[in-house]
Amino acid sequence: MFDALKLGAKIECDTFDPLRRSLKASYYGFKDGKTAWIELSQASGLALLNDSEKNPLLTSTYGTGLQINHALENGFTTIILGIGGSATHDLGTGIFEALGGKLLDHTKNSLHAKGEHLARCTELDFKNLNTKLLNTTTIVACDVTNTLLGKTGAAYTYAPQKGASPAVVAQLEEGATHFAKLVQQKRNKDLTQIKGGGAAGGTAAGMFGLFDSTLKPGFDLLSDLTALEERVREADLLITGEGKTDNQSQYGKVPFKLAELAKKYHKPLLLFAGSVSATPEILTRAGITAAYAIKTETMTLDYAKTHAYSLLKDAVLKNLKNHI
């Protein structure tokens, strides 16, 4: 069985949540002492906020940037950034700010990085950026394929899950469009055409534009580390899950990537999620044998979160017998 501890260990550091409140969060340092895996959700994740706090105009990836900075100062020279579960739509500008960069408005005043300030930024200041980045490789582990802008882009596809109203979605789209033009002018980097650039509120695109990061499928990175394909080939039954499975999950989310392997080796795959709204046609076509929601329509979200373990256990035990 895969044992993560044989590959390295968790490292805890002081950082901030999406609203810049202090917290401690961890990242993973591999035993080579050179490679660190940082999950954006640890400091910039939606799960760190209650429902009334969710607003991608106000949230930031600044805390994730502090984690990256901690890794750099501790000698890691390859940073892999996993970007699932974000609460943000700041195009990674919070990371840029935390690493010493500055966003300036038309009066040369500094702006705090967050979604509502993208449209106000007219200059990027790299002078005080952490110099260790010059000798660091940054890789964004990105499984979704959405580009930054448009109806299947970051704002329209993902911002509503983060608390954005239709008006806020339009504002975020406008801000991202403006910022992409700025990066094109200043860095000669086109953020709009990158496959996966819309992931995590445009963090993937921002990392590419601001840090020359490479985007690679996170599923493939982890699959290689865990010899996943071989394990799927030897398995009799696969079980996977995510918080919410809807039609956008087909754009590279882990359950659908796992389903590709399930189809390849003709293995049944069961999906358990908090809620399932993806159409049966999409699920079947992907290779998902059956999908089960652990939250009922009459159950409150707070109850589902509090009792997630028992609800998942009951759902698995109830439905597994139909497939063995």
* 283: CATH: 3.40.50.10350
Q: Residue 312: inside a domain, yes or no?
A: yes
Answer yes or no: do 198 and 248 share one domain: no
Answer yes or no: do 13 and 80 share one domain: yes
Mean pLDDT over 288-293 rounds to 94
Distance of alpha carbon 42 from alpha carbon 56, whole angstroms: 17
Q: How many domains does the chain have?
A: 2
Domain boundary among 218, 242, 262: 218
Distance of alpha carbon 60 from alpha carbon 154, whole angstroms: 15
Q: What is the pTM assigned to this prediction?
A: 0.79
Answer yes or no: do 113 and 199 share one domain: yes
For residue 77, is it left (φ>0), alpha (ψ between -120 and 50) or beta? alpha
pLDDT score recorded for residue 322:
81
Domain boundary among 165, 188, 218: 218
Distance of alpha carbon 73 from alpha carbon 193, whole angstroms: 33
Q: Residue 223: inside a domain, yes or no?
A: no
Answer yes or no: do 116 and 233 share one domain: no
Q: Among the residues of 58-165, which ranges form H helices?
A: 62-73, 93-98, 154-158
Q: Residue 140: inside a domain, yes or no?
A: yes
- Are the C-beta atoms of residues 201 and 154 closer than 8 Å to each other? yes
Answer yes or no: do 296 and 192 share one domain: no
Domain span holding position 308? 228-323
Answer yes or no: do 177 and 266 share one domain: no
pLDDT score recorded for residue 3:
45
Decide if pLDDT at 247 tops 80: yes
Structural tokens at position 52: 């009334």
Q: Decide which of 295 and 103 is more confident.
A: 103
**Closest by Cα among 236, 237, 159 to 199:** 159
**Average pLDDT value for the chain:** 93
Q: Strand ranges (DSSP E) for the chain?
A: 8-16, 22-30, 35-39, 78-82, 102-104, 110-111, 123-125, 137-141, 214-216, 238-245, 269-276, 290-293
How large a percentage of the chain has pLDDT more than 70?
Answer: 98
Domain boundary among 218, 251, 271: 218
The CATH number of the domain where 118 resides is what? 3.90.1510.10
Answer yes or no: do 236 and 214 share one domain: no
pLDDT score recorded for residue 219:
84
Q: Decide which of 275 and 171 is more confident.
A: 171
> Computed from CA positions of residues 241, 196, 40, 94, in that sequence, does the dihedral angle turn out positive or negative?
negative
Q: Residue 39: inside a domain, yes or no?
A: yes
pLDDT band at 271 (very low <50, low <70, confident <90, very high): very high
Distance of alpha carbon 95 from alpha carbon 63, whole angstroms: 7
- At 89, which amino acid appears? H
Answer yes or no: do 302 and 168 share one domain: no
How large a percentage of the chain has pLDDT more than 90?
Answer: 79
Answer yes or no: do 45 and 24 share one domain: yes
Q: Residue 233: inside a domain, yes or no?
A: yes
Q: Residue 63: inside a domain, yes or no?
A: yes
Answer yes or no: do 88 and 176 share one domain: yes
Answer yes or no: do 100 and 191 share one domain: yes
pLDDT band at 252 (very low <50, low <70, confident <90, very high): confident
Answer yes or no: do 205 and 69 share one domain: yes
What is the per-residue pLDDT across 62-120, written as a single tens digit (0 to 9) for each?
Answer: 999 999 999 999 999 999 999 989 999 999 999 999 999 999 999 999 999 999 999 99
What is the per-residue pLDDT across 210-227, written as a single tens digit (0 to 9) for each?
Answer: 999 999 988 888 888 778
Task: Using DSSP, state whether 124 is helix, strand or coil.
Answer: strand
pLDDT score recorded for residue 124:
97
